[in-house]
Amino acid sequence: MNLQTIKQRYGIIGNSTGLERALSTAVRVAPTDLSVLITGNSGVGKEVFSKIIHGLSPRKHEKFMAINCGAIPEGTINSELFGHDKGAFTGALTDRKGYFETYNKGTIFLDEVGEMPLETQSYLLRILESGEYIRVGSSKTLKTDVRVVAATNVNLQEKIRAGKFREDLFYRLNTVPIVVPSLKERREDIYLLFRKFASDFSDKYRTQSIQIDEKARQIVENYNWPGNIRQLKNVVEQLSVLSEEKMITAEYLVDFMPQILQRNLPAMSPNGNSAEDFNERDLLYKVLFDLRKEMGGLKELVVELVKYNDLNMPENMENYPSIALPSSNMATQSTNYNRFIINEEANNNISANPDNSVRPIILENKQNDATFDRMEVVEETLSLAAMEKEMIKKALKKHKGRRKDAANELEISERTLYRKIKEYEL
């Protein structure tokens, strides 16, 4: 069964690399009995992947149970999962089977496993290692054959360091990890999901499906969607109910959802590298950072030239506050500081540098040379769009027109690069 068929079967919308990687991993691990840990932010659809694993496994004809570990009180979770004997505690009037006994031979999906109490984690670890467990209030060891798929939206490594999650249980659950990308990491899928939710709503309530214009689409695709797919679906349903017009404009969308224009600076990962998938806005930040780096290098070059060549500097240095001049003998300040050329003869007569350090460039003042006119200072454009266009042109030239390699160089998606090429007519 190919990925496209699986997407249609389970209602999965999207073609992003991260989504297909997670889906491919789920398909490969499904025929085995290995434990799986699904990680991802709240609302990304982790439960769908657990159903895919169960539906493509040899256990597909057995029962499937999804359990929210964070929704069961700490005092009753052991009884819920493993059962109890009559009289085990106040109110235990009869024997009760737990989920691991009821769903024997099937699959149990433990959502929010990071919220499971430490005592319960010990029971779960024993089941994963030997299939054995004991009911609450009993001394009889029982066995079960259950496939465990767990999910969490928190960092379990941090929980381990805080002493709130067992390290041995983490490695037992994390036999095969699946990372489900958030919506902001698969921006090319946002519009597809918007259309899908709008179509589903119109089919269910027999109304005309809403649409969005191009500007509204750009706003929707560039919003971070902290609630992920769940939030996007809610917004589409609200617009379908409340909007009198079926064509949603950017103005109406911003008025309806003012926070949709909020932007955050690109976050840096703990290892110091930037996020893998930069959106269009982050490309502008990259241009600015690169420009700042180049300007810093240019300032260092100017300082070195002044230091080694005893150059005359402009009278009013207050216009250059960011240039720290070295303390050296300066000639009398003059406004003719732009009339310097390389003195090739002086450079050729310099003896070899014994320590192989970089040789400074020697300049000669040619104030009396009439062949040199005063230079004209051309102010560089500060337009972000112009700088962005230039960066894209350089990347395409460097990679000989290969868009995929150019997109990787710019740290943006191929789709964003293609849209920019059309926008700038490159």
pLDDT in tens, 117-150: 999 999 999 999 999 999 999 989 999 999 999 9
Give the type of residue at 48. V
pLDDT in tens, 57-75: 999 999 999 999 999 998 8
Whether residue 316 sits in one domain with residue 225: no
What one-character DSSP code corresponds to residue 56?
T
Q: With H, G, I as helix, E, B as strand and everything else as coil, classify residue 43.
A: coil
Whether residue 123 sits in one domain with residue 61: yes
- Please tell me the predicted confidence (pLDDT) of residue 399: 83
pTM of the full structure: 0.61
Whether residue 388 sits in one domain with residue 323: no
Whether residue 188 sits in one domain with residue 176: no
pLDDT band, residue 251 (cuts 50/70/90): very high
Q: Which of 122, 148, 181 is the last residue of a domain?
A: 181
Whether residue 160 sits in one domain with residue 15: yes
- Please tell me the predicted confidence (pLDDT) of residue 312: 63
Report how many domains make up the chain: 4
Q: Is residue 107 part of a domain?
A: yes
pLDDT band, residue 404 (cuts 50/70/90): confident
* Helix-helix angle 3-10:17-29, to 10 degrees: 90
Q: Which of 181, 207, 225 is the last residue of a domain?
A: 181
- Please tell me the predicted confidence (pLDDT) of residue 165: 96
Q: Is residue 371 part of a domain?
A: no
pLDDT in tens, 325-352: 554 444 444 444 444 444 444 444 444 4
Q: With H, G, I as helix, E, B as strand and everything else as coil, classify residue 116.
A: coil
pLDDT value at 25 more than 60 = yes
pLDDT value at 418 more than 50 = yes
Nearest-angstrom CA–CA distance, 346 and 364? 9
Whether the CB-CB separation of 179 and 22 falls below 8 Å is answered with yes
Give the type of residue at 355. D
Q: Is residue 375 part of a domain?
A: no
Nearest-angstrom CA–CA distance, 156 and 146? 23
Whether residue 221 sits in one domain with residue 114: no
Whether residue 297 sits in one domain with residue 157: no
CA neighbor of 209 nearest in space, from 190, 237, 251, 250? 237
Whether residue 241 sits in one domain with residue 175: no
pLDDT value at 237 more than 60 = yes
Q: Is residue 277 part of a domain?
A: no
Whether residue 109 sits in one domain with residue 92: yes
Whether residue 162 sits in one domain with residue 89: yes
Give the CATH number, domain containing residue 418.
1.10.10
Measuring CA to CA, how many Å separate 343 from each of 124, 284, 340, 348, 352?
Answer: 80, 40, 9, 9, 17
Whether residue 252 sits in one domain with residue 123: no
DSSP-derived pairing of the beta strands 132-134 and 247-248 = unpaired
Q: Is residue 275 part of a domain?
A: no
Q: Is residue 414 part of a domain?
A: yes
pLDDT band, residue 320 (cuts 50/70/90): low
Burial grade of 75 (CB within 10 A; 0-12, 13-18, 19 or more) = exposed
Q: What is the mean pLDDT of the chain?
A: 81
- Please tell me the predicted confidence (pLDDT) of residue 75: 87
Q: Is residue 274 part of a domain?
A: no
Q: Which helix (H) or strand (E) holds 50?
A: helix 46-55
Q: Is residue 378 part of a domain?
A: no
Whether residue 176 sits in one domain with residue 204: no
Give the CATH number, domain containing residue 204.
1.10.8.60
145 contacts: CB under 8 Å, gap ≥ 6: 104, 105, 131
The mean per-residue pLDDT over the stretch 32-57 comes to: 95
Please give the residue range of the domain that contains residue 136.
3-181
Nearest-angstrom CA–CA distance, 109 and 273? 34
